Amino acid sequence: MVAPTPHRDRSRTWQPAPEQLLYQSYSVEEDRIRTNVHYEQPPEFFYTLTGGEWNVYSCNLWMTGARNDTESQEAKLDLMARIMDLQPGQRLLDVGCGWAGPLTYFSKRYGVRGVGLTLSPTQKRCADERIARYGADVQVIEKHWKDYQPTEPFDAIFTDEVIVHFHDLEEFFRQAWDWLRPGGVFLNKEVHFTNSRHGATMQRGDVLIHEIYGLTGNYRTIAEELSFLDRVGFQLKRIVQIPLENYLKTARRWEENLLAGRKELEALVGPEYFHRFRAYLQLTRKILRSGKITLDAIASTKMDLPGFGAAPAQQPVYEGLT
Ligand SMILES: C[S@@+](CC[C@H](N)C(=O)[O-])C[C@H]1O[C@@H](n2cnc3c(N)ncnc32)[C@H](O)[C@@H]1O
């Protein structure tokens, strides 16, 4: 059901097969199986790849002078914490929490309590180990967001390069709105297409990337994301555009880490997967230079009342990091 589909040459101009296109709708169970095609790879593979103390598997921040993987991960997480205005004792939900590096860091550095969601049993096992090692006041639950029902509201909800896996994005935003306390913050950091047509013109390399993630990709424009947030009732607080040099450097570091551990990683995942993953990192760097995407952190607040009761945004609504 989830095996990658071989590329087909249908005519002189290559076209992806219908099942290779973006924006596929799957059941919760198929979503889980497909997403885990990637995240159930051995944790040692991802730990070597991402490096550093927190094994953050998303773009990190290098432009503020980070000297190594850990510093770049912490610089990115500190920026996210500032945007969410995390305060000690608050409850944070990290949807798509990986191996719980970010959640553990937020808990230890900012004193928040929290919950992380993942679809991967291996990630959950590794997350539990990390949480115990740090004595962090957080818990990771292996569940699809569609099946999650919190027992208490959250002060903040965070997604970092996760919603690309979500086909029903408006429905997810509606859930996030329900799970927040009035005035709570929802922060989503994600890559966005600079034009929706980029999603309809897939090249072979785009399909390879899509296949790495079990064909679960749903890349969107900021415009689409903002309109869903608006429809659900969120009030826009702040947009921070993260210069793509940070992602180029992150992807370069990941490739360097991969090559440094080549012998062990090839033995772990096989030379073919290693080679495909390396090709994926190289294609990612090409896309980062193509002008087709931006990387943006979008913070919104749950309005208190139908009468727009929440405090007005204090910062400029649009802000590019320089
Ligand atoms: C690219 S990783 C990002 C991990 C983390 N946010 C970070 O920055 O290091 C995507 C994560 O989203 C999770 N995920 C994907 N689809 C999900 C779903 N429907 N429900 C819950 N988690 C999901 C995966 O299991 C994985 O942990």
- Tens-place pLDDT, residues 279-294: 999 999 999 999 999 9
Domain extents in the chain: 18-320
Tell me if 118 CB under 6 Å of ligand 1: yes
Reduced DSSP (H G I as helix, E B as strand, rest coil) percent helix, strand, coil of the chain, to 5: 45, 20, 35
pLDDT for res 13:
80
> What residues in the chain have per-residue pLDDT under 70?
1-12, 304-322
Q: Give the whole-angstrom CA distance, residue 82 versus residue 70.
A: 18
pLDDT for res 6:
54
Take residue 27 and report the two structure tokens written for it. 């059941």
pLDDT for res 202:
87
- DSSP β-bridge partners for residue 141: 117
pLDDT tens figures, 222-264: 999 999 999 999 999 999 999 999 999 999 999 999 999 999 9
Strand arrangement, sheet containing 138-142:
138-142, 113-118, 91-95, 154-160, 180-193, 293-302, 234-241, 318-320
Question: What distance in angstroms lies between residue 312's CA and the mean position of ligand 1's atoms?
Answer: 31
Is domain 18-320 annotated with CATH 3.40.50.150? yes
Global confidence as pTM = 0.93
pLDDT for res 141:
98
Instruction: Identify whether the C-beta of residue 105 lies closer than 8 Å to the C-beta of residue 54.
Output: yes
pLDDT for res 7:
55
pLDDT for res 1:
45
Element holding 158 (H helix, E strand) = strand 154-160
Tell me if 161 CB under 6 Å of ligand 1: yes
Residues 6+ apart with CB under 8 A from 285: 248, 251, 252
Element holding 283 (H helix, E strand) = helix 271-288
Q: Which ligand 1 atom minimizes the distance to the CA of 160?
A: 6
Q: DSSP letters of 54-112? A: T---S----TTT--SHHHHHHHHHHHHHHHHT--TT-EEEEES-TTSHHHHHHHHHH--
Element holding 139 (H helix, E strand) = strand 138-142
Question: What distance in angstroms lies between residue 97's CA and the mean position of ligand 1's atoms?
Answer: 6
Tell me if 184 CB under 6 Å of ligand 1: no
| Local structure of 223: helix, strand or coil | helix
